[in-house]
Amino acid sequence: MGKKLVRIFKFNSVSILGIGIIIGVLLIWGLIQVDEINQKLTLINFPKPKLFSKAITQASSSALKATNAAPTAKSTAKISIPQNFGRTVNVPILMYHYIGNNPNPIDTARDYLSVPPDKFDAQMSYLASKGYTTISLDTLYAALKGSASLPNKPITLTFDDGYIDFYINAYPILKKYNFTAISFIPTGLMNQGYYLNWDQIREMHNSGLIIFEAHTVNHYNLNNLSYDKVKNQLTQSKQTLQDILGYPINFIAYPYGLSNPSVWQAAKEVGFVGGLGTWGGTIESEGNIMNMPRIRIAGSWSLAEFARRF
């Protein structure tokens, strides 16, 4: 009996040892396979994630192509923000692009930039009911220089790019509430595609409600241009508007919201007294007068969300 137990014990020990060896081999083989897979994965160039930038500040290339809009910026969206100093006022400057329904809901960037007319009407009704008074950029500038006082609840309405839906949808609503507004237009893109024509621009200017200011000639990213080319874009757009509309063009909205101290200096040299960016804020000062902040209005906002922004 004792000899049988010894043989059984030896057999079981051998069996356990054999099973252990097999398991060990399998583990080693598995590790080798994982290592090979990892090595192969490192050789695959996975696409980098695309960043959603400004110019959303600024509009997607697909949205621009869909409406023959301005060319897409070539450089990364680096925004230079000036420091506040000197006189300071709290004036929300609202920034709109499209006032119309997005014809292509798949284009999420265009959807973000498109405020439907009924929402825009509700927003203007809210401003009127809360006692806001629209002011021009010239009045804001004068207040920062100490030569003008502001109403109790001042606000400035701005519209970028000169799309035709500003004339069709926004302009009648602005007239309804007797609100003034500023439209920044790239002069070289007018009279074509989805943009305003000069007859519409003159009509709105003659109403006394709409002031047109510069947005360069071709809507180029000024950060990508040489100093001389920046000055050329600024000078030509300013001169064209002054020749057609007959009043001094004092303000520039930088395409895509992109600018830097060199661009600000060029703008001052050609005669602009102020510039507007797309970075968020409501505090306007002598320090940021060449790159003033604005509040970008998104098409997806409810009226409550709109009201919370300022």
- HSE toward the beta carbon, residue 143, CA cutoff 13 A: 18
The pLDDT of residue 183 is 98
Low-confidence ranges of the chain (pLDDT < 70): 1-78
The angle at the Cα of 49, spanning 60 to 59, to the nearest 5 degrees, equals 10
Count of domains observed in the chain: 2
The pLDDT of residue 57 is 32
Quick one: 9 and 121 in the same domain? no
Terminal-to-terminal C-alpha distance of the chain: 95
Quick one: 41 and 88 in the same domain? no
Quick one: 258 and 197 in the same domain? yes
CATH number at residue 85: 3.20.20.370
> Over the Cα atoms of the chain, what is R_g?
30
Structure tokens at 210: 């709409």
Quick one: 87 and 207 in the same domain? yes
Structure tokens at 291: 């790159």
CB 114 within 8 A of CB 98: yes
Neighbouring residues of 158: CB distance < 8 A, sequence distance ≥ 6 = 93, 94, 95, 96, 181, 182, 183, 184, 253, 276, 294
CB 291 within 8 A of CB 82: yes
Quick one: 31 and 128 in the same domain? no
Helix, strand, coil: what percent of the chain each, to 5?
45, 15, 40
53 lies in some domain: no
Quick one: 247 and 278 in the same domain? yes
Quick one: 149 and 29 in the same domain? no
The pLDDT of residue 169 is 98
Quick one: 24 and 139 in the same domain? no
**Which residues are registered as beta bridge partners of 181?**
210
What is d(CA 303, CA 281) in angstroms, rounded to the nearest whole number?
Answer: 19
Which residues span the domain enclosing 24?
1-46
| Model confidence, pTM | 0.76
What is d(CA 292, CA 254) in angstroms, rounded to the nearest whole number?
Answer: 10
The pLDDT of residue 24 is 55
